[in-house]
């Protein structure tokens, strides 16, 4: 009797078919799940970045205020006097 659909694959052929299916469907699935897990981790860490941005914004505001104050001193100050800091004031401001 002749089989109607051809020969049924045996042990080694079934193993090769199984390996091909794993590579076709398993590897891309693992890569997608790994990428999703990495994306979730990066999204969860964004709160730390917000805190850092807030801290840097506060430092920027302080630096701008200090710069405004130094410019007022150099231009003569609000009372019109030319208040130029001497060398001791400069060394104190650099140390802080």
Asked if residue 95 belongs to a domain, the reply is no
Contact in structure between 42 and 48 (CB atoms under 8 Å): no
Asked if residue 60 belongs to a domain, the reply is yes
Q: Do 51 and 67 have their domain in common? A: yes
Measured between alpha carbons, how far is residue 2 from residues 7, 10, 13 in Å? Answer: 9, 17, 20
> How many folded domains does the chain comprise?
2
Domain holding 38, by residue range, is 13-44
Asked if residue 39 belongs to a domain, the reply is yes
Q: Does position 95 have pLDDT exceeding 60, yes or no?
A: no
Q: Does position 41 have pLDDT exceeding 70, yes or no?
A: yes
Q: Do 40 and 20 have their domain in common? A: yes
Across the range 1-25, mean pLDDT stands at 82
Cα–Cα dist 54/61, whole Å = 11
Asked if residue 66 belongs to a domain, the reply is yes
Asked if residue 24 belongs to a domain, the reply is yes
Name the most confidently modeled range: 21-30, 64-73, 75-84, 85-94.
64-73
Q: Predicted confidence band at 96 (pLDDT cuts at 50, 70, 90)?
A: very low
Q: Tell me, what's the pLDDT at 72?
A: 92
Cα–Cα dist 25/13, whole Å = 18
Q: Tell me, what's the pLDDT at 3?
A: 66
Q: Do 40 and 57 have their domain in common? A: no
């Amino acid at each position: 009797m002749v089989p109607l659909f051809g020969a049924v694959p045996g042990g080694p052929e079934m193993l090769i078919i199984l390996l091909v299916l794993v590579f076709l469907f398993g590897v891309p699935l693992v890569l997608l799940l790994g990428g999703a897990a990495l994306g979730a981790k990066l999204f969860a860490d964004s709160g730390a970045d917000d805190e850092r941005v807030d801290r840097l914004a506060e430092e920027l505001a302080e630096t701008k205020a200090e710069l405004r104050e130094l410019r007022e001193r150099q231009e003569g100050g609000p009372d019109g006097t030319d208040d130029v800091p001497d060398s001791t004031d400069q060394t104190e401001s650099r140390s802080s």
